[in-house]
Amino acid sequence: MTAIDTAIGQGTVVAMTPGRLLDAYVQEAKAECLRYLRNPGFLLPTLLFPSVFYVMFGIFLGHANSADAPRYLLASYGTFGVMAPGLFGFGVSLALERDSGLLTLKRALPMPPGAYLLGKMCMALLVAAIVAAILLCLAIFVAGAALPPSRAAGFFGVEVLGSLPFSAMGLLLGTLVKGQGAPGVVNLVYLPMAFLSGLWIPLPVMPPFLQSIAPLWPAYHLDRLALSAVGLGDGGDAVHVAVLAGFTIVFVAIAARRLRRHG
């Protein structure tokens, strides 16, 4: 018998060394990222939808509207693009993995409890970074948007970190719905929220009632921060950051409680 077998037989919990603990987090994050990068059903729509919309409206039609249109639509479609990895990567996959029993299996494995969620978060951040990078390249090199390096870097950072509230929302949705119904439910949240936040139609041309309720949605606040990053903001960035942080904390707290109770 090994020392580990003896310890287990005596009812002793063998703690992982810091190196193995870190490696467990890294390997789970790597596995999650590779799993989704190799899944064209998830990756292609996530990358293509915001890019195609930006090409149509930000490049072909953008300059016909105003000189600021490429930058304005970069912020809008950037926000639209980075919402998807968190909502679908967390929401749909968590619901499917709960139904299939994979989440129960992962809980039984000798891995840190937070590695599963950290892996999915890293996946969402990576895909959001790819979306933001593609849109930045289109805006700068094709649409000719006037974005100095500092503003391009600011936009990139805002959009990548801005995917976290939607990861938290996806986490909550994944605890509420069954696997088969998850794609439809997530789309019922994703698409109306994008519209009501002014990502498809500028808020000033929308009815007053819809303008008044736009701040209820996290996508609105991320869009305001993205507009500020590209030089079209109207102030209040600290408020938008605080609201997004609040959404994230509330969604994670509710989701964690549900996972503890219902698995």
Per-residue pLDDT at 85: 93
With 0-12 / 13-18 / 19 or more C-beta atoms within 10 angstroms meaning exposed / middle / buried, residue 21 is: middle
Q: Does residue 12 sit within a domain?
A: no
pLDDT at 241: 97
What confidence tens digit (pLDDT) does each residue in 225-262 have? 999 999 998 888 999 999 999 999 999 999 888 888 76
Report the share of the chain in percent with pLDDT over 70: 92
Is the residue at 7 inside a domain? Answer: no
CB-count burial class (<10 Å; 0-12, 13-18, 19+) for 140 = middle
Q: Are 181 and 207 in contact (CB under 8 A)?
A: no
Structural domain includes residue 141: yes
**pTM for this structure?**
0.88
Question: Which parts of the chain register pLDDT below 50?
Answer: 1-13
- Cβ pair 75, 229 in contact under 8 A: yes
Residue spans of beta strands (DSSP E) within 151-240: none
As for how many domains the chain has, the answer is 1
Task: Specify the pLDDT at position 10.
Answer: 47
Buried b (16+ CB within 10 A) or exposed e, 79-89: bbbbbbbbbbb
DSSP state of 197: T
Domain residues for the domain of 84 are 17-262
Whether 4 is in a domain gets the answer no
